[in-house]
Amino acid sequence: MAEPPLIEAHDLTKRYDDFVAVDGIDFAVARGETFGFLGPNGAGKSSTMRMIGAVSPTSGGTLRVLGRDPERDGPAIRERLGVVPQEDNLDLELDVGENLLVYGRFFGLPRDEIRRRSDELLEFVQLADRSDARVDSLSGGMKRRLTIARALINEPELMLLDEPTTGLDPQARHALWDRLYRLKQRGVTLVLTTHYMDEAEQLCDRLVIMDRAKIVAEGSPRELIERFVEREVVELRTGTDGDAPSLDGIGGHVEVLQDRIVIGTDDGDGLVDRVHALGLHPETVLVRRATLEDVFLRLTGRSLID
Amino acid sequence: MEAARRTLAVVGWQARSFRRLWRGSITVSLLNPIFFLVSIGVLLGSLIDRSSPDLGGLSYLQFVAPALLATTAMQTAASVTTFPVRAGLKWLRTYHAAVATPIRVSELVAGILTWCGVRVMVAVTIFAVIAAIGGAFVSPLAVLAPFAALLCGLAFGSVLAAITSSVEGDEWLAAIFRFGLVPLFLFSGTFFPIQQLPAVLEALAWATPLWHGVALCRSLATDDLDPLLTAVHVTYLVVLTAVGTMLTVRAQREKLRR
């Protein structure tokens, strides 16, 4: 018999007064999987994460986390979760090691055990030499890594990461991805939200695309790209000439955005030749592989990051 | 019991956060009573006619010291349950981090208010020892006055935590001190008997927690204990603590478990 999913949601809904933040979504996450919620700000990703994390009551539908009801068994569920929130909430009045100590105590761990785990975790997130440093003095990327170490202090079965790399510079993002990838290799189930399609592509085995409180598509990054868009994309920056209509039928789907035209195709170079053959001379021409960004654009008519 | 264990973890957290500040805090706790008792109790007191019937044969120092014990409790409680609570809920969001663990909101609040009690107890004990050395207490029952002050501190701590957890704008915090605690400090029978107030204000004083704390501490330190009045003071402060705690839990649940 297959193991039941670690998270299972049916018709899951979250309302704040009149505002519907999550509108009847269904999903399931299996043990060992890295599962993503991809979507723009305000799509309902964080609200979903908070319900999974048993800190936000559901307004409708059913939700099971680790086989339990978050409404009834909040502490028992949270005991087995590691949570990396969107905004850092480390205790700035404590040093790095103390942040881990205090957090471990919240889980009822003995001090010796916390110290042992702290050493390992700080090693893991490459902060071993910073154990006595004030949290204030850490860079954004270091704080994020410390938050991850803190979330791992109880050896969670399930990690919830809400926009883990938002606000980090590219180097810090890659360092963080590398750590998350290692966790994944160790078999920790990761659930993350992001509005970066490259992050979702790099990390997620499977993801759902959310828009306006609903799930609009589900699958692996590759599946989603194959299902919804052509293999390649040609982006034309046209300046002001408004030639868009004449491009219909030149390749695959044509999306006219404010500053550029995006055309899906299975043969990018061939399409560029045809554009030139039409006598068009765009300011810039870019041929690239299709990404989840294009999937999102196709499904919603909008780009992920405004 | 799990709930008690988790509450203690919160107390331990608060104590650890305080480790960087304790030197400054202890200095304040030592100097404040000396400054107040000397300047008001002794120096200002020397101008006050001891034969005034309102003083009931006490020196002004003996009259004012037990009241300052209660105000110390109030001020210490306020320093624990206003700005730090705001920081936990909003500025640093450390309370959000705490309730993502097995800690429940009720346990978080219980831990914070327990820590408030610890801080108040330390401050009033230091105050009481200094006052006793200075001859400010006439009755051996004064030994119980720090516990009365603790009760007063818990009543303030829970109510102020409830207010801090409920209001939105940060400007409210300064307002609590300016329009709440300062008038209470001045008009709750601390420096003069409330019988001297106009009848309306005297009735108002009965409604304020500080006056009950002041009256309780004073009756213990001056051996002027009325069983019925004592029961009223204690009940008032206990009920206020319970209500304040409940409202704090409710307000923080609203913020932390949206």
Report how far residue B250's alpha carbon sits from residue B125's, in angstroms, rounded to the nearest whole number: 32
A91, A101, A154 member nearest B94 (Cβ):
A91
Q: Say how many C-beta atoms besides its own lie within 10 A of residue A10's C-beta.
A: 13
Q: What is the ipTM of this complex?
A: 0.92
Phi, psi of B246, rounded to the nearest 5 degrees: -60, -45
Strand order in the sheet with A19-29: A19-29, A7-16, A60-65
Report how far residue B49's alpha carbon sits from residue B35's, in angstroms, rounded to the nearest whole number: 22
pLDDT of residue A248: 74
pLDDT of residue A241: 55
- Put residue B167 in one of left, alpha, beta given phi > 0 → left and psi -120 to 50 → alpha: beta
Report how far residue B150's alpha carbon sits from residue B156's, in angstroms, rounded to the nearest whole number: 10
Report how far residue B234's alpha carbon sits from residue B53's, in angstroms, rounded to the nearest whole number: 27
Report how far residue A195's alpha carbon sits from residue A180's, in angstroms, rounded to the nearest whole number: 17
User: Which residue in chain A has the smallest CA separation from B13?
Assistant: A102
pLDDT of residue B93: 96
pLDDT of residue A240: 58
CA distance B252 to chain A (A): 12
* DSSP annotation of A158: E
Q: Do A74 and B93 touch (CB under 8 A)?
A: no
pLDDT of residue A306: 55
| pLDDT band of B22, cuts 50, 70, 90 | confident
User: Which residue in chain A has the smallest CA separation from B87?
Assistant: A91
Kindly state the tokens that stand for A276.
């030139």
Report how far residue A237's alpha carbon sits from residue A282's, in angstroms, rounded to the nearest whole number: 6
pLDDT of residue B247: 98
Q: Taking CB atoms and an 8 Å cutoff, what residues of chain B touch A16?
A: 258
End-to-end CA distance of chain B: 27
CA distance B64 to chain A (A): 37
pLDDT in tens, A38-55: 998 889 999 999 999 999
Mutation target vs A (from B17, B101, B104; most A CBs, 10 A cutoff): B101
Contact (Cβ atoms closer than 8 angstroms) between residue B219 and residue B137: no
B→A interface, C-beta within 8 Å: 2, 5-6, 9-10, 12-13, 16-17, 20, 92-94, 96-104, 256-258
| pLDDT band of B56, cuts 50, 70, 90 | confident
Q: Which helix (H) or strand (E) holds A268?
A: helix A268-277
- Has this prediction a pTM greater than 0.95? no
Please name each of the domains of chain A with its CATH number. 7-220 (3.40.50.300), 230-289 (3.30.70)
| pLDDT band of B102, cuts 50, 70, 90 | very high
Question: In the A/B pair of chains, how many CB contacts fall below 8 A?
Answer: 76
Q: Do B97 and A90 touch (CB under 8 A)?
A: yes
Q: Which helix (H) or strand (E) holds A151?
A: helix A140-151
**CB within 8 A of B45, min separation 6: which ones?**
B59, B60, B61, B63, B64
pLDDT in tens, B167-195: 998 899 999 999 999 999 999 999 999 88
Q: Taking CB atoms and an 8 Å cutoff, what residues of chain B touch A56?
A: 257-258
Question: Does residue B258 have a pLDDT over 80?
Answer: yes
Q: Do A81 and B20 touch (CB under 8 A)?
A: no
Q: What is the dihedral of CA A31, A39, A142, B95, to 10 degrees?
A: -80
pLDDT of residue A183: 92
Chain mean pLDDT for chain B: 94
Question: Does residue B94 have a pLDDT over 80?
Answer: yes
Q: Taking CB atoms and an 8 Å cutoff, what residues of chain A touch B13?
A: 91, 102, 105-106
Report how far residue A78's alpha carbon sits from residue A54's, in angstroms, rounded to the nearest whole number: 7
Q: Taking CB atoms and an 8 Å cutoff, what residues of chain B touch A19?
A: none
Q: Taking CB atoms and an 8 Å cutoff, what residues of chain B touch A91?
A: 13, 17, 92, 94, 97
Contact (Cβ atoms closer than 8 angstroms) between residue A29 and residue A65: no
**Per residue, what are the HEC states of chain B?**
CHHHHHHHHHHHHHHHHHCCCHHHHHHHHHHHHHHHHHHHHHHHHHHCCCCCHHHCCCCHHHHHHHHHHHHHHHHHHHHHHCHHHHHHHHHCCHHHHHHCCCCCHHHHHHHHHHHHHHHHHHHHHHHHHHHHHCCCCCCHHHHHHHHHHHHHHHHHHHHHHHHHHHCCCCHHHHHHHHHHHHHHHHHCCCCCCHHHCCHHHHHHHHHCHHHHHHHHHHHHHCCCCCHHHHHHHHHHHHHHHHHHHHHHHHHHHHHHCC
User: Which residue in chain A has the smallest CA separation from B16?
Assistant: A94
**What average pLDDT does range B42-55 have in this prediction?**
87
Percent of chain B at pLDDT > 70 equals: 100
Mutation target vs B (from A93, A103, A146, A162; most B CBs, 10 A cutoff): A93
Over chain A (306 residues), what is each successive 10-residue block's mean pLDDT? Answer: 87 95 97 94 94 97 97 96 95 95 98 97 95 94 95 96 91 90 93 91 94 95 92 83 64 82 88 85 89 88 69
Contact (Cβ atoms closer than 8 angstroms) between residue A58 and residue A50: no
pLDDT of residue B234: 98
Q: Taking CB atoms and an 8 Å cutoff, what residues of chain A touch B16?
A: 94, 98, 101-102
pLDDT of residue A242: 53
Contact (Cβ atoms closer than 8 angstroms) between residue A228 and residue A295: yes
